[in-house]
Structures are given as C-alpha cells and as structure tokens.
Structure 1
C-alpha cells in the first residue's frame, strides 16, 4: 500500500500495531523503517492541519 496516500486513521492504526509488536517481540529492520515513515507522515499531517487552523485566525483590535 502507498503510505503517502493512506488515510490518517489507517496510519495511526498501523503505527499502533507496530508499537505493540515492538514491545512484544521486536521489529525487523523493514518494520522499523516503516514505523519511522509512518510517524513522519503523522507528524507532517498534524503540522499541516495546525498551520491551516492558524491561517484562519483573525486578529481583533481592542478599543
């Protein structure tokens, strides 16, 4: 599956699956790399959403 086009809910679900597996049995190198890529996708999404929210904020003048 193309990780860049995954829904954010699916990204979070897979991050959690990999985290759980890392605590239970450990991850192989490919899974560690996948985990890092998914975390980057998640962080970038949070930043993008926060930036979009900030762009809608309007300053009001006080009297």
Structure 2
C-alpha cells in the first residue's frame, strides 16, 4: 500500500470504492473460509467412508479365514 492509498483510505465514506478497486479479482476472506470449510468437510467425509469400507473388508476377511 503506497502513501496515496493510505491517504485515500483516511477519507470517510470511501471504504467500499477503495476496496472494490484495490482488491478486484481477488478471493475475499469470507469466500476463502467457505471454500476451506467445504474442502475440509469433503476430505473428512471421504476418509470416513474409506475407513468404514476398510472395516467392512477386515470383518469379511476374518469371516472367511
């Protein structure tokens, strides 16, 4: 952030315009948090399903020994 941006940020009522101009095309913090949460849920769900499948396989193998 340059000196000009700093001075512009001090002007009241200019926050939204400054943010729209400065951060255009970038992912917002809210969007990033949502994406990370979604990825975490997916990763957890996939692992859980794999573990359940593995437990089933182990039981099945023990039954036929």
Q: Bigger relative contact order, structure 1 or 2, given CA contacts below 8 A and separation 6+? A: 1
| Band the TM-score falls in, shorter-chain normalisation | 0.3 to 0.5
What is the TM-score with the length of structure 2 in the denominator? 0.46
Structure with larger Rg = 2
